[in-house]
Amino acid sequence: MAAYEIEIILNRQLADCLSIPVFITDIEGNLIFYNEPAETVLGKRFEETGEMPVGEWSTIFKPLDEEGKPMPPGELPLVKTLNDEYPHHKKFFIESLKGETQHISVTSYPIISRAGKFIGAVAIFWKQKAK
Amino acid sequence: MKIKLWGVRGSIATTGPDTEIYGGNTSCVTVTHDDYVLVLDGGTGIRQLSGSNYPMHKRIDVLLTHLHLDHIQGLGFFSPLFDSSKEVHIWGPASTSQTLFSRLSRYLSPPLFPVLLRDLPCKLHLHEIGNSQFETGPFRIQSNYIIHPGPTVGYRIMNERAVFAFIPDHEPALGEKGIIKENKWISGFDVAEGADVLLHDSQYTPEEYLNKRGWGHSTINDACLFGSMTSVKRILLSHHDPSHSDAFLEDMLSSFKKGAGNIPSAALAKEQMEIDLS
């Protein structure tokens, strides 16, 4: 079993130090790490779930646009980054399994290794302040 | 495969009565198979491989882990570079912005050194590597980027009988929780896994490390944890801090062993130490 490249490992170590939710995926979109603050978004603990295939984690919360309509996956920043290997940012709503709706903003960026290879992606979530 | 240590001091060469047992030269190790020689790092220890002291074949391979001064300072005093009959291959980690030639030339040029890299008389070949696999002579070599400031690799040297892992500068514990205890999340895991001998950074005591996080080095505890996680058979603790005397190093190791659990066979790397893995 090969170890992850150090750019991925260092992203995890950084995420471990942050108080904002951070998700790290491989290039297939499989969730390979999420930090403690992200556990409140997913409602699951990383120690319990371990890595999650894209088909599993993407169904845990439902993204909604400003009008409350379901957003197509291709509109999500992380999915865009996985598709085009560029950073993206978007504000939208998510509905958790408990039915709670949160207004969030998400920034995603690609992890491009020192060798110039696309090796994964990171998404950072912020809760929008209520106006 | 035979391994000989020519320099195991970290950061800066340190001579004097307090360091005469473990040595004061900076990073340099040779790995030989029959009469084929690999030179790992070009710290001040490499000077001992010059001239008639250490006859070399026409082709010489020098594998640099990174370009910090304690790993290249001896290159200017490595006689094969000044011998037109020699073919010297220098392997070093690629950077995102500058070539290996350009980065080595920052040292091998005035005002730091009188001779330009491009004027060296030997037949010089530079090879930029990263997460790479290559062969030279009887050796198969794997390099992987590891956690240390600036582009840095560890080397896994293999022949048909043995594996030697060389990671003299490494901070796998960098982060909030130290070394993540899952193999695929450990920097350098693939370099070291199951090696017969691992030479690894152990520059600091845990107390010293508190003020030196992010400098790219390990505590003796983390070095041995890394050795244990990677299931190496034997670990040589290296990159001794220049402020650590021979007595301090021995105290450091014995204190650690008193409190340690299941660790691989650990010893302090010592200049002139030889290990035969034939």
Of B130, B176, B186, which has the smallest distance from its Cβ to A3's Cβ?
Answer: B186
> Domain residues for A57?
6-127
- Contact (CB<8Å) B175/A13: yes
CATH code, domain with A27:
3.30.450.20
The pLDDT of B265-278, averaged and rounded, is: 96
Pick from A81-85, B114-118, B202-206, B258-262: least confident: B258-262
Q: For chain B, list the domains and their CATH numbers.
A: 2-276 (3.60.15.10)
Pick from B67-76, B103-112, B196-205, B259-268: least confident: B259-268
What pTM does this model have?
0.93
Q: Phi then psi for B247, rounded to 5 degrees?
A: -65, -40
Q: Please give, rounded to a whole number of angstroms, the shortest distance from the CA of B218 to a CA of chain A.
A: 16
Asked, for residue A99, whether it belongs to a domain, the answer is yes
Model pLDDT, residue B262: 59
Model pLDDT, residue B80: 95
- Contact (CB<8Å) A16/B189: no
Q: Please give, rounded to a whole number of angstroms, the shortest distance from the CA of A11 to a CA of chain B.
A: 10
The pLDDT of B59-76, averaged and rounded, is: 97
Asked, for residue A1, whether it belongs to a domain, the answer is no
Model pLDDT, residue A131: 58
Model pLDDT, residue B114: 96
- Contact (CB<8Å) B145/A6: yes
Asked, for residue A13, whether it belongs to a domain, the answer is yes
CA atoms within 13 A on the CB side of B76: 16
Contacting residues of A for B151, CB less than 8 Å apart: 114
Q: Is the pLDDT confidence value at B51 over 80?
A: no
| Cα–Cα separations (whole angstroms), residue B254 to B212, B228, B248, B259 | 22, 18, 10, 9
pLDDT category of residue A97 using cuts at 50, 70 and 90 = low
The pLDDT of A52-70, averaged and rounded, is: 85
Q: Give me the long-range contacts of B11-19 (CB less than 8 A, separation at least 24).
A: B11/B70, B11/B203, B11/B239, B11/B241, B11/B242, B12/B70, B12/B242, B13/B43, B13/B44, B13/B70, B13/B73, B14/B242, B18/B245, B18/B246, B18/B247, B19/B240, B19/B245, B19/B246
Report ipTM for this prediction. 0.85
Asked, for residue A110, whether it belongs to a domain, the answer is yes
| Number of domains making up chain A | 1
- Contact (CB<8Å) B190/A12: no
- Give the model confidence (pLDDT) of B215-263 as tens digits: 999 999 999 999 999 999 999 999 999 999 999 999 999 999 888 765 7
Model pLDDT, residue B61: 97
Asked, for residue A107, whether it belongs to a domain, the answer is yes
Mean of the per-residue pLDDT values for chain B? Answer: 95
Q: Please give, rounded to a whole number of angstroms, the shortest distance from the CA of B236 to a CA of chain A.
A: 23
- Contact (CB<8Å) B176/A16: yes
